[in-house]
Amino acid sequence: MSVGASRRVDSMLKAAAVAAFAAGVVCLAAGAWIPIKAWAAQLLIDAAWRREHTLSRIAVPWPWADTRPVAKLTVGEGTAATTLIVLEGSSGRNLAFGPVHDVASVAPGALGNSVIEGHRDTHFKVLHTAKAGDRISVEALDGSRSVFVVTDVRIVDSRRTRIVLDTNAALLTLVTCYPFDAINPGGPLRWLVTAERLRSKPAVASVATSRDT
């Protein structure tokens, strides 16, 4: 191998290393930007939430936003509690900023199934520890609070399953992608946390039934 050829290889290797380094930095920045955006958006939205409360009119988190906060969701209790502001409309853009309420479903706390979706790797990361019996509380825009208790946690295939909206109880269904640590963002599995609203009075008195088997 001649000296000239060796130099050419050397400079090529150098260029390749620099290019790979630059690409790596860009990718890392893009990857880091997603959680930063998710976190910063929640701060701005939280401010909008307070404005909406105090001014009692519809407030948008930033001037060009096409969504608005609809509820404040608290998952867990005490020091482990995570509070998130829920946005209206389940578009991909809204999901980048916070959990979203599916407009086809009822408002949280109303009779029916209220569906809230969030990203598994940002806002709804907390759901991976959810289990039956956990409390979830939702504060509506008017300040009213509903408390839900988790009744079911399950994994479903989104290609074969749909969420029923018309239920006879006030349900809250939190949806995020599964598995939580998967690399591929396009997977078909979803993690579903279903919670039922706690009633102020005990449920309808149970009726004596006999069961044959």
Partner 1 sequence: MNLRSFLVSLLWALLLVVCTSPQRLVFAANAIEDTPSGTLYLRRSAQEPVTEALRLATRMQVQVTGNVARVHVQQEFSNTGEDWVEGLYVFPLSKDGAVDELLMRIGERTIRGEVQEKAKAQALYNDARAEGRRASIVEQERPNLFTSAVANIAPHTTATIEITYLETLPFRDGRYTLNLPLAITPRYTPGAPQDATAEMPAATAAIMNAALGTSATPERVKAVRQRVSIEIDLEPGFALGEVSSLHHAVETQSAPSGKRVLLHTDDAPADRDFELTWTQASEKEVAGAAFAERIGGETFALLMLSTPRQMDEAVPAREVTFIIDTSGSMQGPSIEQARAALSMGIGRLKQSDRFNVIRFASDYSKLFSSPQPVTDKSRALASGFVAGLSANGGTEMRAPLEIALSGPSDPELLQQIIFITDGSVGNEAELIKLIHDKIGEKRLFTVGIGAAPNAYFLGEAAIAGRGSYTFIAERDQVGARMRDLFAKLEHPALIDLKVQWPKGMSVDLAAPLPMDLYSGDPIVVLARMPEIASGEVVLSGLVRGTQWTQRLPVTSVGDASGLSKLWARERIGTLSRQMHFGGDAEPLKAAIVELALKHHVVTEFTSLVAVDDEVVRSAGSPGHVEQAATSAPVGGAWATVGFAKTATSAEVWLCAGLVCLGLSLLLTYARFRRPALESRPA
Cα distance between residue 22 and residue 49, in whole Å: 40
Residue 13 binds partner 1 (CB under 8 A): yes
Interface segment toward partner 1; rule CB under 8 A; list 62-70, 80-88, 138-146, 157-165: 157-165
The pairing of beta strand 135-140 with beta strand 145-157: antiparallel
> Could you give the CA distance from residue 133 to residue 128 in angstroms, rounded to a whole number?
14
Residues 6+ apart with CB under 8 A from 119: 38, 95, 96, 176, 177
Relative to beta strand 69-75, strand 112-117 is: unpaired
- Which CB sits closer to partner 1, 142 or 166? 166
Binding characters for partner 1, 94-123, by CB under 8 A (x = yes): -xx---x-x-xx-------x-x-xxxxxx-
Cα 24 to chain centroid, rounded: 28
Candidate list 4, 5, 78, 142; residue touching partner 1; CB under 8 A = 5
Which listed residue (47, 60, 141, 165) binds partner 1 by CB under 8 A? 165
**Would you say 59 or 106 has its CB closer to partner 1?**
106
Q: Which is nearer to partner 1, 58 or 164 (CB)?
A: 164
- Of 48 and 153, nearer to partner 1 (C-beta) is 153
Label residue 107 exposed, middle or buried (CB < 10 Å: 0-12, 13-18, 19+). middle
Residues 19-38 that bind partner 1 (CB under 8 A): 19-21, 23-32, 34-35, 38
Residue 96: CB minimum distance to partner 1, A: 7
Q: Candidates 4-12, 49-57, 64-72, 74-82 — which segment interacts with partner 1 by CB under 8 A?
A: 4-12
Contact pattern from residue 67 through residue 86 relative to partner 1, giving x for each residue in contact according to CB under 8 A and a dash for the rest: --------------------
Question: Residue 173 interacts with partner 1 (CB under 8 A)?
Answer: yes
HSE-CB of 166 using CA atoms within 13 angstroms? 0
Cα–Cα distance for residue pair 80/71, rounded to 1 Å: 20
Among 140, 37, 53, which residue's Cα sits nearest to residue 94? 37
